[in-house]
Amino acid sequence: MKTLPESLWIKNPQAILADGDAGGGLVVRDGVIAELVPSGQAPVTAYDTVFDAHDHVVIPGLINTHHHFYQTLTRAWGPAADAELFPWLQNLYPLWARLTPEALDAAVRVALAELLLSGCTTAADHHYVFPAGLDEAIDIEVAAVRDFGMRATLTRGSMTLGEDDGGLPPQSTVQSLDVVLADSERLIETYHERGDGAVIQIALAPCSPFSVTREAMQESALLAARHGVRLHTHLAETLDEEEFCLDRFGLRPLDYLESVGWLGPQTWLGHGIHFTDAEIAQLGAAGTAVAHCATSNMRLASGIARVLELEAAGVPVGLGVDGSASNDGSNMILEARQALYLQRLRYGADVPVRRALGWATAGSAGVLGRSDIGTIRVGAQADLACFTTNALRFSGSHDPLAALLLCGADRADHVMVGGRWRVVDGAIEGGLDLDELIARHTRSAKELVGGSPIRQFA
């Protein structure tokens, strides 16, 4: 694995998205940003070597706030290709119930590779499927994240309300609450890191109102509070969910969330589409965050989140690619582009490009409760994504930062996490055999859908 010298000057970028004048670049020392160099100047801080960035657009590493890594195994699956959320889930649950450790490992690594190559340095994953034999799903994810040298918030998801009791998922995917809570506590104690520079963080994430019991929501909130970790769930994604909550709980989704002790700054919500004006104000007052998943919301025809109104009310907003079966890709720079265009469709063409880049960087960092990533400023972690604009799609473009989204950048040239290069010249460092990973992942996906036996992960 290639590491940086003690101090590096990333010199004279073509453009940079920084908090202040950094036209001359930045100096990285000991994994953090030590200096922003003004245009036309040289660093004051001593440096050991130089990375000439004159062909690069430099932005903070992108941050993905909502994903389901395992779903890379069921992308573009025909029976679910043209369905809305509830029938989409009902078609896919039986496949996911056959998930094995080896298949999950391949799925996670494919998702991480896609994200990293798109300029993403931190990802939140919501894993809630634990069929028999997959008790250590989050442990598998931790190992993969560490191998890729990325950061992650890995959420211990759960489903405790099966079909037999009026929920949506099949009984084979449901766990008892005691098992969920015990494993959640184990994962927090084993892996959760605190403070600036954290690599692995754990959060608790009962899946959704239609797949977990009220008790599971309440007990998860209490456990999270005891350990000082965050909470995550799907909420207000579809009108079907709203109808379910009214029928089962006699409450709208947000009122239900408040009733189980979740409404507060410790919580971020996947999707957050169907809120009233009063509910948006309520979210803002509580400081509860939203992960906007533009591509997934379009793919499943779920609706358009009211992002500008959420932000105006004080709601932290970031971006998520969502599962790679409702997006079918794990590309964060393309997700920022899609979010920009979807929000322009709602609010008008004057939604700024830089605002969409902000959702994918500082906005997403805030959603995950972090202030040490998502910005290029002195003291921040040196998590950076560097894009070139010398491909055919950029020919004739004039504003390099705007061109990233408007011209459709889809792959970073260099990516740094904590001061170490993780992508160099468009390739992942560390000896990853991408062809072998694709072959293994494709084999696992076919076996999962076909129901053939899958070798056990070693």
Q: Please say whether the beta carbons of 29 and 10 come within 8 A.
A: no
Domain at 7-60+380-428: CATH code: 2.30.40.10
pLDDT score of 451: 64
Report CA 360 to chain centroid distance, whole Å: 9
Fold topology of 62-367: TIM Barrel (3.20.20)
**Digit-coded pLDDT (tens) for 214-265:** 999 999 999 999 999 999 999 999 999 999 999 999 999 999 999 999 999 9
Buried b / exposed e along 287-302 (16+ C-beta atoms within 10 A): ebbbbbbbbbbbbbeb
pTM of this prediction? 0.96
Mean pLDDT, rounded, for 9-18:
98
Domain chopping of the chain, boundaries: 7-60+380-428, 62-367
Distance CA 190, CA 143 (A): 13
| Token pair for 263 | 């409404």
Round the average pLDDT of the chain to a whole number and report it. 95
**Digit-coded pLDDT (tens) for 404-430:** 999 999 999 999 999 999 999 999 999
Confidence of residue 172 (pLDDT cuts 50, 70, 90): confident
